[in-house]
C-alpha cells in the first residue's frame, strides 16, 4: 500500500471511529479517502495556478481579481451585483476589484441600456487579449500533460469528471 493510501486508510479509520462506526475502514472507504487526498493536492495546485495566472495577467493582481476578470470575459457585459453573487462575495469587495481592474485597463464600465442608473462591467480589448493569452497557454500545458495518456484514459477522465460535476 502506498504512503498516500496508508495515510488515507488511517484517516478513514479515525473518521469512522469518531463517528461511532467500525474502526476498520472498508476498501471503499479507503478508496474514497484516496480520492479526497488527491482532490486536496489538486485544489492546492489549482490555487497556485490561479495565483500564477493572476501575475501573468498583471503583476500584483490578486487571485480574486483574476477570477473576476475571467468571469467577465466569459459572460460579456454583466452587473457588479451579479458578479458578487457568482463569486459568493459581498458587493463592496467586488467593487474594489472592479476599480483595481479598471485602473489596470482590463475592465470598463458602460451604461446599462435597460437601466440608465446602473452600469455594466465589460472587459476591455486589453483585458480580453491578456485573458485569451493566459487561457491559451493553460490549454497548451493541459494538452501537453494529457497527450502522453491513452485516449481511453482521457475519455474516462472526462466521463468521471462529468459524473462528479453532475452529482455536486
Residue 71's nearest CA partner among 94, 51, 90, 49 is: 94
In a domain, 48, yes or no: yes
**How many domains is the chain partitioned into structurally?**
1
In a domain, 85, yes or no: no
Tens of pLDDT along 102-125?
A: 999 999 999 988 887 889 999 999
In a domain, 27, yes or no: yes
In a domain, 2, yes or no: yes
pLDDT of the residue at 2: 47
Ranges 19-23, 34-38, 86-90, 139-143: which has the least confidence: 19-23
* Cα distances (Å, whole numbers) of residue 32 to 26, 44, 153: 10, 18, 20
Q: How confident is the model at residue 12 (pLDDT cuts 50, 70, 90)?
A: very low
In a domain, 125, yes or no: no
| Ramachandran angles phi, psi of 121, nearest 5° | -100, 130
User: Three-state DSSP class for 136?
Assistant: helix
Q: How confident is the model at residue 168 (pLDDT cuts 50, 70, 90)?
A: confident
| Strands 115-123 vs 107-112: parallel, antiparallel or unpaired | antiparallel
Domain containing residue 48: 1-57
In a domain, 17, yes or no: yes
pLDDT of the residue at 143: 94
- Is the model's pTM score more than 0.85? no
pLDDT higher than threshold 70 for residue 57: yes
| Ramachandran angles phi, psi of 84, nearest 5° | -60, -40
In a domain, 31, yes or no: yes
In a domain, 40, yes or no: yes
CA 102 from chain centre, in angstroms, equals: 23
Reported in sequence order, the residue ranges of the chain that DSSP labels E, i.e. its strands, are 107-112, 115-123
Amino acid at each position: 500500500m502506498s504512503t498516500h493510501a496508508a495515510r488515507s486508510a488511517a484517516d478513514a479509520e479515525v473518521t469512522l471511529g469518531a463517528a461511532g462506526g467500525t474502526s476498520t475502514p472498508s476498501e471503499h472507504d479507503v478508496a474514497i479517502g484516496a480520492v479526497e487526498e488527491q482532490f486536496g493536492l489538486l485544489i492546492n495546485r489549482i490555487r497556485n495556478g490561479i495565483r500564477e495566472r493572476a501575475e501573468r495577467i498583471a503583476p500584483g493582481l490578486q487571485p480574486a481579481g483574476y477570477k473576476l476578470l475571467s468571469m467577465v470575459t466569459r459572460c460579456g457585459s454583466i452587473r457588479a451585483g451579479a458578479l458578487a453573487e457568482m463569486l459568493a462575495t459581498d458587493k463592496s469587495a467586488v467593487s474594489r476589484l472592479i476599480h483595481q481592474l479598471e485602473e489596470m485597463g482590463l475592465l470598463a464600465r458602460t451604461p446599462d441600456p435597460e437601466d440608465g442608473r446602473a452600469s455594466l462591467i465589460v472587459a476591455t480589448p486589453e483585458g480580453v487579449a491578456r485573458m485569451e493569452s493566459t487561457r491559451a497557454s493553460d490549454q497548451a500545458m493541459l494538452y501537453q500533460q494529457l497527450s502522453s495518456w491513452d485516449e481511453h484514459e482521457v475519455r474516462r477522465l472526462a466521463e468521471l469528471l462529468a459524473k462528479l460535476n453532475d452529482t455536486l
